[in-house]
Amino acid sequence: MDEDTLIAEKVAEARAAVEENEADCWLTFARETTEIAEPCLPFLLGFDVVWPTAVIVTPERSVAILGRHDAPNAEALGVHDVRPYDESIESDLVETVDEIDPDAIAVNVSEDDTVADGLTHGMYRRLQELLDGTGYEDAFVSAEDVVARVRGRKSETEYGRIETAAAETERLLAEAVDAWTPETTETEFSEFLHERMREADYGSAWSWDYCPTVHAGGAAPVGHTLPGERTVPPGEVLHVDFGVTVEEYAADIQRLYYRPREDGEGIPDGLQAAYEDVRAAIDAGAAVLEPGAVGHAVDAAARAELTDRGWPAFQHAFGHQVGRNAHDGGTLLGPQWDRYGDLPDREVAVDEVYTMELGVETEWGYLGQEEMVRITEDGHEFVVDPQTELRRLSP
Amino acid sequence: MDEDTLIAEKVAEARAAVEENEADCWLTFARETTEIAEPCLPFLLGFDVVWPTAVIVTPERSVAILGRHDAPNAEALGVHDVRPYDESIESDLVETVDEIDPDAIAVNVSEDDTVADGLTHGMYRRLQELLDGTGYEDAFVSAEDVVARVRGRKSETEYGRIETAAAETERLLAEAVDAWTPETTETEFSEFLHERMREADYGSAWSWDYCPTVHAGGAAPVGHTLPGERTVPPGEVLHVDFGVTVEEYAADIQRLYYRPREDGEGIPDGLQAAYEDVRAAIDAGAAVLEPGAVGHAVDAAARAELTDRGWPAFQHAFGHQVGRNAHDGGTLLGPQWDRYGDLPDREVAVDEVYTMELGVETEWGYLGQEEMVRITEDGHEFVVDPQTELRRLSP
């Protein structure tokens, strides 16, 4: 089964990540994951749990301690030593940690990286209490580096899903544009895509109501907005930010479409120039995006190109990783702003998948473009073909 | 809009809950909620956020501090004072807390109640750092009681959705049973329901692949299992645990169906007796389920009835609350086991919605039944009609 393959790939990656880490084991601790997801569990178990559950990974093996009802699903994976419990996780947890006897236990705590911060404060306290008196209750360190590697470096199975999600995002966009007429409102454009997503059983890469985000023309407010009753005026631009999920993996793409004027005139010079500035800034970031690049340096290259061309700086990061989530955590191609913590200070690594995105506000509409790339040994490759010109809308 | 009404109802409930609480304000702090959901934000905002976001509720007002891109959605609710920020939440957060000048700040931390434990450990540390030096960084207390009231006591809008979800769950089950044939496998029964859910655009009350859980006959393994290739043997029982979500609110129901034997004989005496024991135990719990009842006492009444009749005790709680989640947190009708923390020690309150569920393993199949009830001033009422006899399967 495809899902079992994926989990086997990621658990192997996790063992290697622990091997190269200062900690002796990586402990993921969670409960009721349909209510509060533990972002690492999909790589370790692949199913939701109800009772407190621990998965402990060392360089040699992994142990899953979970409620008896969930145990058969863990057994079926064939990758973990499974320890089912009935009333309390305590004895199995303490025995397992005792066997490992770690100097440092990596736990999912991170001020800066959401996907490495799945341990709630209540569960952190509970973990300390469970290990109270063992000597291990003060051995916790952050698993940020382990999580960044496990989640960031995409396995073949994962990358296949991301490629499919990106290709399907482009395909559905092409269908929506084919069906477009001058009377199509933002809401109707969005509903067309939602209908196609339902038919194909695809999820949305972010909140359903905001995916796609659709901006019709220069009068549309910029940002994460709900679609409205606006249509694209002649001579203006339709901006779409969209991504489907396929088998739990996301795409995140922004595309731009120009509605020709009724007098047959071409694209206004100012619009064409602004679009070329957007593309040049993306290209400038792309030029330095390779293994070992530091996140904020990539952002700065794109940002400087845009501001040098006279535009205001964009108020977001140039690029983020994509995987199970459209914002997948880890190294961020962003400025060193407080709200990004240390993510922009981290390095880009092979097999990570990033967006490259920016935009400018113009009288013709918001010109935002977003591409997806995979990091290769010597640079990067596009997941799907990038947009290289303003696409034309035709009724 | 229905969703705005719901949020207005719940924010009003939150102000009242803070008024009766020891804390002076309730602070919910979250980021990237598509990755790690903050279980309280759907009651306070109703949309996902990317950047660090704080919602602070006092008895008099509520303040939402969030990234500028998310601000228009918060403004549109019309219930909060909205403070958008660009680079850091710090100054708006500190100013707002300074204005309130609280002795105690309730935050979403709970060792026992998942839905009141939405603050991750990394975000807890970050909150302490943001308030460092203000005197408020050590003022945190648990918001458990506030969350239990806000989430537990269902507003009219919420209860209407739960009623619809329960009625639709029964309707889809009836359709699946109408379509059943002796050749129908567990997987086919599950796929039939999934197809109907897709058509109706309903979600699953727990993980899609495990909702429904379907057990065909006495040879099926018990527990949270995936459906398999088994069919119901003549003279045995089909057990289904199922719930749809309608407008984000869940149902959670277990039903039992008997496949008649081919020789025309009736239900085996042993099976009928076992089923009556299950029903009697549910009735015994129901008899003491009313406002002010303590969770573990309700569980004990049902448990004792079943064990007095010679059955082993069930390895789960008799009942849990239902709302946005099939396991909605707060007071639990469960035994005082370590894994349940203090939830069984809490009291039942008016307008909460609970399941009542238990089962026994027999040679004819797992006999599990689960009902849903709303707590009323003088007891409880069933959300949908309870099952009172083994329903018959007919091809």
Contact B325 A224 (CB under 8 A): no
The nearest CA of chain A is from the CA of B340 a distance in Å of: 9
Tens of pLDDT, residues B101-110:
999 999 999 9
Contact B118 A114 (CB under 8 A): no
Contact A114 B36 (CB under 8 A): yes
Alpha-helical runs (H) found in chain A = 2-19, 41-44, 71-77, 90-100, 121-130, 144-152, 156-179, 186-200, 269-286, 295-308
Tens of pLDDT, residues B333-360:
999 998 788 999 999 999 999 999 999 9
d(CA A144, CA A119): 12
Which H or E element spans position B360? strand B353-362
Contact A47 B111 (CB under 8 A): no
d(CA B392, CA A227): 49
Tens of pLDDT, residues B283-320:
999 999 999 999 999 999 999 999 999 999 998 999 99
Contacts of A336 (CB under 8 A, 6+ apart): A296, A344, A345
| Whether B17 contacts B146, CB under 8 Å | yes
Strands B353-362 and B365-376, by their bridges, are: antiparallel
Average pLDDT over residues B173-200: 97
A69, A201, A225 ranked by CB distance to B72: nearest: A225
The backbone torsions φ and ψ at residue B93, rounded to the nearest 5 degrees and listed phi first, read -65, -50
The nearest CA of chain B is from the CA of A94 a distance in Å of: 15
| Whether B112 contacts B342, CB under 8 Å | yes
B70-109 as b/e: b if 16+ CB within 10 A: bbbbbeebebbebbbbeeebbebbbebbeebebeebbbbb
The nearest CA of chain A is from the CA of B388 a distance in Å of: 27
> What average pLDDT does chain B have?
95
Smallest CA–CA distance from B325 into chain A, residue: A35
pLDDT at position A256: 98
| Whether B46 contacts B117, CB under 8 Å | no
Strand partners, A389: none
pLDDT at position B265: 87
Strand partners, B57: B26, B62
| Whether B318 contacts B305, CB under 8 Å | no
The nearest CA of chain A is from the CA of B378 a distance in Å of: 31
Chain A residues with CB under 8 Å of B117 CB are: 36, 120-123
- B341 or A155, which is more confident? A155
The nearest CA of chain B is from the CA of A266 a distance in Å of: 33
d(CA A40, CA A55): 10
Tens of pLDDT, residues B205-254:
988 999 999 999 999 888 777 899 999 999 999 999 999 999 999 999 99
Above pLDDT 70, what percent of chain A? 100
Tens of pLDDT, residues A218-275:
998 887 778 999 999 999 999 999 999 999 999 999 999 999 998 988 999 999 999 9
| Whether B238 contacts B216, CB under 8 Å | yes
Alpha-helical runs (H) found in chain B = 2-19, 41-44, 71-77, 90-100, 121-130, 144-152, 156-179, 186-200, 269-286, 295-308
pLDDT at position A1: 57
A67, A109, A325 ranked by CB distance to B121: nearest: A109
The nearest CA of chain B is from the CA of A118 a distance in Å of: 7
Global ipTM: 0.83
Residue A58 binned pLDDT confidence (cut-offs 50, 70, 90):
very high
B126, B221, B329 ranked by CB distance to A72: nearest: B221
B125-161 as b/e: b if 16+ CB within 10 A: bbbeebbeeeebeebbbbbbbbbbbbbbbbbebbbbb
pLDDT at position A340: 87
Contact B122 A115 (CB under 8 A): no
Contact B338 A90 (CB under 8 A): yes
- For an interface test with B, the pick among A339, A355, A357, A361 (most B C-beta atoms closer than 10 Å) comes out as A339
The residue among B47, B62, B55, B54 whose CA lies nearest residue B15 is B62
| Whether B145 contacts B67, CB under 8 Å | no
- For an interface test with A, the pick among B2, B33, B35, B322 (most A C-beta atoms closer than 10 Å) comes out as B35
pLDDT at position A348: 98
B37, B72, B315 ranked by CB distance to A36: nearest: B37
| Whether B30 contacts B78, CB under 8 Å | no
B166-205 as b/e: b if 16+ CB within 10 A: bbbbbebbeebbeebeeebbbebbbebbbebbeeeebbbb
pLDDT at position A221: 85
Chain B residues with CB under 8 Å of A67 CB are: 339
Take residue B183 and report the two structure tokens written for it. 């050749």
- Alpha-carbon distances of B26 from A193, B64, B236, rounded to whole Å: 39, 12, 52
Contact B109 A121 (CB under 8 A): yes
d(CA B64, CA B71): 9
Contact B118 A115 (CB under 8 A): no
Contact B35 A32 (CB under 8 A): no
Chain A residues with CB under 8 Å of B211 CB are: none
The nearest CA of chain A is from the CA of B309 a distance in Å of: 23
pLDDT exceeds cutoff 60 at A131: yes
pLDDT at position B1: 56
pLDDT at position A87: 84
- For an interface test with A, the pick among B119, B120, B127, B252 (most A C-beta atoms closer than 10 Å) comes out as B120
